[in-house]
């Protein structure tokens, strides 16, 4: 059984636009006439490279949406990746053996998984990338946009030819703004307004299998701009010892994720 069959899912949304899934995280492969681009490398379990090469043999750009362990731990399979400089240290930290080992309890790994090799994999070469950089794939272009909030160096990619906005974890139904690397609520709101001004039709998010219509941004903005921390649900947030609360839109329970207007933020008090 191949790695692709064993632990990865593969779906073509439209010609040249692919989603690759593993352990609740989605990576995106965009294939142009001359080159391809992989947005995020996930946990790096098994051979993501084999999956990518089963789709295309074109020269490949690899780009990280941010530095977290579930988005950048497959970088070394490709020799490295582009990443925003503000998340460089975070990416290096999350690629250490200690961080990699913590994630194995949520992992979907190959039958013949080599733990020692995985723990020591590292990042490969990390190249800086920032606002306005354009990756030209031939017939498809992807423009880098800075969306700080979830982390300082969170970026997205805008594809004008397909009217798609790849956002990683920068904006979604359940944004995390409690970890030390998270930025302020106002910074996150600024990123939402920036996204709203872009003429896209659908967002591609790292933890949602399907494209999300642009109108969902207004749910995120409504929550963020009217956030009531005092009525939020206090929870034990992973990797955080302070007071963090789940705050949702007025009238929508934090467990009601099937509600069409659902939006939530897990936020620490110091990020307000």
Residue 224 maps to a domain: no
Residues 5-9: contacts with CB within 8 Å, 24+ apart?
6/46, 6/110, 6/111, 7/45, 7/46, 7/108, 7/109, 7/110, 8/46, 8/48, 8/51
CA distances to 6, 21, 87, 104, 105 from 46, in Å: 9, 12, 25, 12, 15
Residue 50 maps to a domain: yes
Is 77 within 8 Å of 41 (Cβ atoms)?
Answer: yes
Residue 206 maps to a domain: yes
Question: What residues make up the domain containing 203?
Answer: 3-172+184-216
pTM here?
0.96
Number of structural domains (the chain) is: 1
Per-residue pLDDT of the chain (272 residues; tens, 9 = 90+): 344 447 899 999 999 999 999 989 999 999 999 999 999 999 998 899 999 999 999 999 999 999 999 999 999 999 999 999 999 999 999 999 998 988 887 777 887 888 899 999 999 999 999 999 999 999 999 999 999 999 999 999 999 999 999 999 999 999 999 999 999 999 999 999 999 999 999 999 999 999 999 999 999 999 999 999 999 999 998 888 889 999 999 888 888 888 989 999 999 999 99
Here the CATH number for the domain that contains residue 190 is 3.60.15.10
Q: Are strands 202-205 and 174-177 parallel, antiparallel or unpaired?
A: unpaired
């Amino acid at each position: 059984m191949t790695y692709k069959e064993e632990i990865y899912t593969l779906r073509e949304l439209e010609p040249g636009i692919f989603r690759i899934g593993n352990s609740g995280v989605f990576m995106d492969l965009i294939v142009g006439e001359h080159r391809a681009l992989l947005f995020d490398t996930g946990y790096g379990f098994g051979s993501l490279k084999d999956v990518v090469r089963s789709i295309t043999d074109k020269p490949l750009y690899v780009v990280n949406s941010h530095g977290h362990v579930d988005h950048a731990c497959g970088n070394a399979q490709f020799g490295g990746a582009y990443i925003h400089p503000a998340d460089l240290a975070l990416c290096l930290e999350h690629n250490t053996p200690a961080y990699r080992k913590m994630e194995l309890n949520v992992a979907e790994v190959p039958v013949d998984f080599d733990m020692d090799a995985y723990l020591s994999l590292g990042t490969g070469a990390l190249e800086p990338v920032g606002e306005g950089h354009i990756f030209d794939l031939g017939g498809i272009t992807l423009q880098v946009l800075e969306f700080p909030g979830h982390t300082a160096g969170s970026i997205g990619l805008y594809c004008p030819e397909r009217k798609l906005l790849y956002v990683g974890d920068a904006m979604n139904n359940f944004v995390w703004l409690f970890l030390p690397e998270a930025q302020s609520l106002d910074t996150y709101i600024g990123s939402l307004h920036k996204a709203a001004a872009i003429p896209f039709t659908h967002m591609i998010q790292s933890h949602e299998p399907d494209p999300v219509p642009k109108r969902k941004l207004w749910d995120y903005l409504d929550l963020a701009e009217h956030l009531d921390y005092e009525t939020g649900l206090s929870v034990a947030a992973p990797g955080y010892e302070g007071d963090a609360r789940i705050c949702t839109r007025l009238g929508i329970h934090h467990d009601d994720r099937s509600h069409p207007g659902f939006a939530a933020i897990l936020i620490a008090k110091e990020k307000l």
